[in-house]
Amino acid sequence: MADLNVDLCGLALRNPVLPAAGPPGRDGKALLACAAGGAGALVAKTISVRAADVPTPSMAEIPHGLLNCELWSELPPEQWLEREYALAKSAGLPLIVSLGYSAADIAALAPRVRPFADALELSTHYIGENPQPMMDAIRAAKDAVAVPVFVKLSPLGREISRAAELAAKAGANGIAAINSFGPCLGIDVETGQPLLGSADGHGWLSGPALKPLALRCVLDVSRAVGLPVLGVGGISRGSDAIAMFMAGATAVQVCTAAILRGPTVFGKIATEIGAWLDAHGYQSVADIRGLTLRCLRERPAHRVAVPPVVEEAACTACGLCELSCPYDAIHVQGGIARVDMFRCAGCGLCVTRCRPGALRWL
């Protein structure tokens, strides 16, 4: 049976599935629910020097994701220090305390959270194009605590590889990638009103729609720096986490799936990771970490278009491949999908759309 224990900068995680800083860790009680639901460690909602005034409505489900105009914690830092962190620590799991946003804020908060924090995560979501505030925030945290410091990078503006390099230069022990993407806009077509209650209706996108962007960023960060990476964005099942590990992540964080499906999702994803590793003959997450990076290094510079092959025993003749082939190169004949090798451009769409997995690459 695969070993799901992970070492993250000296933190012993019982599995690599954590909540992301956000509503799933909104207070101590919610963090205990994450622990009971199977999380490998805990990440508390970001606090700053004052409580946030969150507009309402602040969250809306959309196809393939979630829009939110959530801010940092709506609880004052004093409440976290007097009650919530201690309650979360009673779970017996490593606790990562998330802080924002400026170096002055971090310098004020980091010494106060030090008794509770097994690590810090710094949010840079509201820090703009200039990387200096991020670097100053990291240095302020490193000056205040002796625990690992992670910095959470957003897929905005700055080229993320360079941002990761500068974070490492400033002393970060690891990178969390990525934060939600935006600003975005959702509209209720019955009323014309924005779905969210922020002043301009803008919000931030999370959930499955974000996963391809998050994977690219995790891979880029993993290439750029030799630091542990926490993969964040669009993880709702074990296979999503497996992809993050293959891109280079050491562990993953989950937010939208926990909001929509509840805190037991952490344990479900961890169980699915273990089942996948067992089914594929791997002993641990470490065995697949960075696999995609290795594949890219070994990939030829120019690839010849090769048609996929059809596993006839698996084909159900559903016709989905025929319907969606942009080159009219695949047709169901005699109850089996047939590929015309002279028309096929090797685009691969049919392989990814085939529900029974009858189409594959040689």
CA-CA distance, 177 to 360, in Å (whole number)? 31
| 246/321 same-domain check | no
Residue ending a domain, among 296, 321, 343, is 296
| 350/281 same-domain check | no
User: What's the sign of the alpha-carbon dihedral 69, 152, 210, 276?
Assistant: negative
Q: Is the pLDDT of residue 158 over 80?
A: no
- Does residue 189 form part of some domain? yes
Residue ending a domain, among 266, 296, 326, is 296
Confidence of residue 302 (pLDDT cuts 50, 70, 90): low
Provide long-range contacts, Cβ within 8 A and 24+ apart, for 289-294: 289/245, 289/246, 289/248, 289/249, 289/250, 290/222, 290/246, 290/247, 290/248, 291/245, 291/246, 292/219, 292/243, 292/246, 292/247, 292/248, 293/219, 293/222, 293/223, 293/247, 293/248
Domain total of the chain: 2
User: β-strand 11-13 against 6-8: which pairing, if any?
Assistant: antiparallel
CA-CA distance, 5 to 203, in Å (whole number)? 35
Q: What is the mean pLDDT of the chain?
A: 95
| 216/345 same-domain check | no
Cα separations in angstroms, 45 against 16, 84, 97, 236: 18, 11, 8, 19
| 273/316 same-domain check | no
Instruction: Tell me the residue type at 345.
Output: A
Q: What is the mean pLDDT of residues 221-248?
A: 97
- Does residue 120 form part of some domain? yes
CA-CA distance, 164 to 155, in Å (whole number)? 12
Percent pLDDT > 90 in the chain is 93
Q: Is the pLDDT of residue 157 over 60?
A: no
Q: Is the pLDDT of residue 209 over 90?
A: yes
Domain that holds residue 61: 6-296
Minimum mean pLDDT range among 4-8, 45-49, 126-130, 262-266: 126-130
Percent pLDDT > 70 in the chain is 97
Q: Is the pLDDT of residue 160 over 70?
A: yes
Radius of gyration of the chain, Cα coordinates, nearest whole angstrom: 22
Output the CA angle 355-181-30, nearest 5 degrees: 85
Q: Is the pLDDT of residue 322 over 90?
A: yes
The pLDDT assigned to 124 comes to 77
Tell me the pLDDT tens digit for each residue of 42-86: 999 999 999 999 999 999 999 999 999 999 999 999 999 999 999
> Any residues with CB less than 8 A from the CB of 154 and at least 6 apart, and which?
124, 125, 178, 179, 180, 181
| 142/275 same-domain check | yes
Q: Is the pLDDT of residue 146 over 90?
A: yes
Tell me the pLDDT tens digit for each residue of 335-360: 999 999 999 999 999 999 999 999 99
| 234/311 same-domain check | no
**Local structure of residue 52 (DSSP, 8 states):** -
| 291/312 same-domain check | no
> Any residues with CB less than 8 A from the CB of 96 and at least 6 apart, and which?
11, 18, 41, 42, 43, 44, 117, 118, 119, 120, 121, 150
| 33/181 same-domain check | yes
Q: Is the pLDDT of residue 311 over 90?
A: yes
Instruction: Tell me the residue type at 26.
Output: R
Q: Is the pLDDT of residue 277 over 90?
A: yes
Cα separations in angstroms, 265 against 38, 139, 244: 8, 35, 17
| 196/337 same-domain check | no
Tell me the pLDDT tens digit for each residue of 81-135: 999 999 999 999 999 999 999 999 999 999 999 999 999 999 976 556 788 999 9
Q: What is the mean pLDDT of residues 19-30?
A: 98
Residue ending a domain, among 246, 272, 296, is 296
